[in-house]
Amino acid sequence: MDKRLLILFTLFIGLLPLSAQQIEVTGARKAVRTSGDIGAIALPVAGLAAVLIQQDWQGLKQGALAAVTTAGITYALKYSVRKERPDHSDHHSFPSMHTATSFAAAAFIQRRYGWQWGLPAYIVSTYVGWSRIYGKKHDGWDVLAGAAIGAGCSYIFTRPFARKHQLSLQPVAGDGYYGLYASMRF
């Protein structure tokens, strides 16, 4: 190859706009990406573990429906919208699958087993979403859409475990008193 052509080619590549080059992410950003990846896997595993420990086969069906629907919607949007990632690595940014998966699991856990388990799951899911932004894989809209898809699918398909036991909570008020009435069938 002619040296002049090689030099011109090298200069051309060096002058391309940043959007045509992949941004290298190193150090702390890679560590955050990895920890977010772990969180995105750990939450569905935790949901499955809860189902198996409780032998909650109805919950297994509901969680599976939510998971399949979340994945289907997310993949359909990724391949139809084709939004470029902030690190310019590909055109599958919208919506965030990591965030959709983790929020689907968190919403399933919260809806099925209550806020005492759901709140920590939502905190981990929020971290997963943040890690995708910090790691330059998604922007805020990608993460918000993923969270809405995941949580929405779980809320559609998941029924509270408390219904099996006919848990009932009702506010009570009268002359100068306020309270909460709770009952449950064992």
What digits encode the pLDDT tens for the residues 8-38?
444 444 444 433 444 555 688 889 989 999 9
| Total domains in the fold of the chain | 1
Query: Burial of 9 by CB count in 10 Å (0-12 exposed, 13-18 middle, 19+ buried)?
Result: exposed
pTM for the model = 0.73
In a domain, 8, yes or no: no
State the Cα–Cα distance between residues 22 and 91, nearest whole angstrom: 12
Alpha carbon distance 154, 148 (integer Å): 10
Identify whether the C-beta of residue 113 lies closer than 8 Å to the C-beta of residue 163. Answer: no
Q: Could you tell me if 101 and 70 are in contact, meaning their C-beta atoms sit under 8 angstroms apart?
A: yes
Q: Does the residue 9 lie in any domain?
A: no
Tell me the mean pLDDT in the region 73-82: 93
Q: 16 lies in a domain?
A: no
Here the tokens at position 147 are 């969270």
The answer as to whether 65 is a domain residue is yes
Spell out the residues 6+ positions from residue 15 whose beta carbon is closer than 8 angstroms to its own. none
Measure the CA–CA gap between 78 and 44, rounded to whole angstroms. Answer: 21
Residue 178 maps to a domain: no
In this model, does residue 79 exceed pLDDT 60?
Answer: yes
Residue at token pair 């002359």: 175
